[in-house]
Structure 1
Amino acid sequence: MPSYKLMYWNSRGRAESARMLFTLAGVAFEDYRFKEGEWPELKGKKELFPLGQAPSLIIDGKALPHSKAINRHLAREFKLYGDDNEQRRQVDVISETVDDIVSKIIPIHMEKDEAKKKELLGELNEKTKPFLTFLSDNAGERFFVGNKETLADVIVFWLLDFLVPMAPSVLTDYPRLGKFYNGIKDNSKLTEYLKNRPVTQNYRTSRTSRRSDAMSEHTYKLMYFNTTGRAEAARMLFALKGVEFEDYRFKEGEWPEIKNDKKVFPLGQCPVLLIDGKPLPQCKAIIRHLAREFGFYGANNAEAAEIDIVGETVDDIVAKALPAAFEKDAEKKKTVIEDFRDNTSKPFLPYLNDMIERAGGRFFVGNTESVADITVFCLLDFIFSMLDNARETYPALAKFHDGITENSRLSEYIKSRPPVPGM
């Protein structure tokens, strides 16, 4: 049996159908997912990426590029390409039809202008209708071709997995496709894999911003004032994951009129995150929920504990800093800020400074972004604006803050977010 190493980003994208083929065949392979910042270093290695593109499948040390070439090779190798030439023809027709649909979706996925994106989404149904109708007409009771799984089933499921979050009605508009999709999810050789695969976006984003390039199973509406404050960490989690959400900011004078609506604000407080219309109150509950949902709560329980330590330390600092933020008397405010700087912020800020320095300066926990990085960044946004000498006093934290601002997956979001007060 050959050795296999599939190399791609930590997303589904053009590698997911190959992963599913390995699963169907029960063949072991190394599912190598690029670490943050690794791709630019790797893409020039022609022995791994002959075309400077991913995915690449390394078979006994030899690179096979092009996702469709990988899929066809594996399907042939694993006897998932039909039993005869007639069935292979049918598999190819289904696969090419999927490609036609994908060609209509990708421009929407890549579009950065929100108005244009909305326009393209509005046109999607008509543009894909003949192709989806064809697929629906050719969907069998369980399989697209023959009486067992083939590449055609994998490719159509992969398409629907990408399309459904963008156009949920596709499963009801085309009930035979809906039955097929749910059958694969709930009662097939792929069911266990689908339930246990990593929670990642369908396609990686080039750089994340408030808009979404990733699709979500849920609708999200975050409701808060037109400020950063207690909602900003949640906004940054959405941005980091590339998940679409409605960033609803109260209009002038609106909050007193709506705060008593318990169906939206159960505690009469904000922020509130509406998930499929159901309210989730309490900013820390929102942050932890999103971090778990999006995979930013550590790789294991030990890392989750470290993240909690950082979060609780941030809360300690915020509790000490808030009196200074809300003090209206100028003289008292100056005194409270000095006391915070010289006394009440310690030992918490020095602890975080030492922690990020020991961790290497880029991530607080592990070797990738976590909610710990976001909560500290939001804290520092506030602290650095309040304390003139904080950057010099805590150089490791200043370097960390600059790194997130200038050279991270959040840089574009940070630079483009509206200029508003911090608290």
Structure 2
Amino acid sequence: MSGKPKLYYVNGRGRMEPIRWLLATAGVEFEESFIETKEDLTKLQKDGFLLFQQVPMVEMDGMKLVQTRAIANYIATKYNLYGKDLKERALIDMYVEGMFDLNELLIMYEIQPADKKEQYFANMMDKATNRYFPVFEKVLKDHGKDFLVGNQLSRADVQLLEILLMAEEFKAGILARFPLLQSFKARISNIPTIKKFLQPGSRRKPPSDEDDVDKVIKIFFS
């Protein structure tokens, strides 16, 4: 095995994408082993590699890490994306938990039944613009710095940028009411490692199409 982290997941965003973002931000090259079929997932489960029978899994530093938040915490700590002290870490955790709630809404949209999608979409956009984005707009205003916490880049900044870009894919102009989030998006997008990750040909995954969604449903929900 090479010294690079190895990521086990489907060839799509889902719950692995925040982890890809963190590794890319830290400038860490990684490999991926894609789960293409239900049998691929079953093999990982039977081999005992998935502690809770679920992916994502990241193999790094001699460990097989599962659970998205645990993986992200480890990477953020290792690569100095987790604040300078306990108080900053508490704020980062608090903000990121809110981001994960919104991220879950966004990634689950594609697997909604056709007759539920319109209502789900409206609810998702309402929560983004009236519950979550106002919080982060206020945090940036009150904090008065370039970053959400302290005065250096943290996983909270990285993961907020990911969600802002994803939300804009769903609805152009969704940030119109949030000038500080617009400035934040432009600023964080220009950090060299992140800028590289946003270029075509990077490990960043595109939005899912119908074939991708069908494959995910067959792997995880059949």
TM-score normalised by length of structure 1: 0.45
1:176 aligns with 2:180: yes
The alpha-carbon deviation at position 178 of structure 1 amounts to 2.1
**CA deviation after TM superposition for structure 1 residue 143, in Å:** 1.6
CA distance in 1, matches of 2:171, 2:72: 26
Partner amino acid, structure 2, of 1:27: V
CA-to-partner distance for each residue in 1:61-97, whole Å, 9 max, x for gaps? 4311001110001111111100111211111111011
Contact 2:197–2:204 at 8 Å: present in 1 too? no
- In structure 2, what is the equivalent of residue 148 of structure 1? 152
Describe the superposition over 1:317-365 as per-residue Cα deviations: whole angstroms up to 9, x where unpaired. xxxxxxxxxxxxxxxxxxxxxxxxxxxxxxxxxxxxxxxxxxxxxxxxx
Cα distance change of structure 1 residues 90 and 60 upon mapping to structure 2, 3 Å threshold: closer
Kindly provide the amino acid, as one letter, of the partner of residue 117 in structure 2: K
Which consecutive residues of structure 1, in runs of 5 or more, have no partner in the other structure?
Answer: 203-213, 215-237, 243-407, 413-423
1:157 matched to 2:161? The reply is yes
User: Which of these residues, 179, 193, 196, is aligned with residue 192 of structure 1?
Assistant: 196
Asked whether the 8 Å contact 2:15–2:56 carries over to 1, the reply is yes
Indicate the structure (1 or 2) with the bigger Cα radius of gyration.
1
Query: Do residues 101 (structure 1) and 102 (structure 2) align?
Result: yes
User: Are 1:170 and 1:178, in contact at CA under 8 Å, matched by a contact in 2?
Assistant: no
Percent of counterpart pairs with the same letter? 25
1:187 CA displacement: 4.4
TM superposition shift of 1:168: 2.4
Structure 2 counterpart of 1:240, from 211, 215, 218: 211
Report the Cα distance in structure 2 between the residues aligned to 1:82 and 1:45, rounded to whole angstroms.
38
Report the count of equivalent residues. 210
Could you tell me how far apart the structure 2 residues matched to 1:70 and 1:43 are?
18
User: Is the 8 Å Cα contact of residues 22 and 155 (structure 2) preserved in structure 1?
Assistant: yes
- Map residues 206-355 of structure 1 onto 2, 5 A cutoff: 214=208, 239-241=210-212
**Secondary structure of 1:98's aligned partner:** helix
* Structure 1 residues 42 and 159: CA distance shift in structure 2, 3 A: farther
| Contact 1:157/1:184, CA 8 A, preserved across alignment | yes
Pairwise CA RMSD? 2.8
Deviation at 1:57, TM superposition (A): 1.1
Partner deviation per Cα, 1:91-122 (whole Å, 9 max, x = no partner): 111101112323444553331123x2112222
CA deviations 1:190-230 (Å, max 9, x no partner) are: 1012213246444xxxxxxxxxxx3xxxxxxxxxxxxxxxx
- Which runs of 5 or more structure 2 residues have no equivalent in the other structure? none
Q: CA 1:62/1:12 → structure 2, altered by over 3 Å: closer, same or farther?
A: same
Q: 1:122 to 1:60 in 2, by over 3 A?
A: closer
What is the one-letter code of the residue matched to 1:124? M
SS in 1 for 2:8: strand
Scaled by the length of structure 2, the TM-score of the pair is 0.80
**SS of equivalent residue, structure 1 residue 170:** coil
Higher RCO, 1 vs 2 (CA within 8 Å, ≥6 residues apart): 2
- Determine the C-alpha separation between the residues in 2 that align with 1:104 and 1:241: 18
| Cα shift at 1:156 | 0.8
Which protein has the bigger helix share?
Answer: 2
* Partner in structure 2 of residue 257 of structure 1: none
Q: What residue in structure 1 maps to residue 18 of structure 2?
A: 17
Number of the residue aligned with 2:122 = 122
Match for 1:169: what amino acid? Answer: G
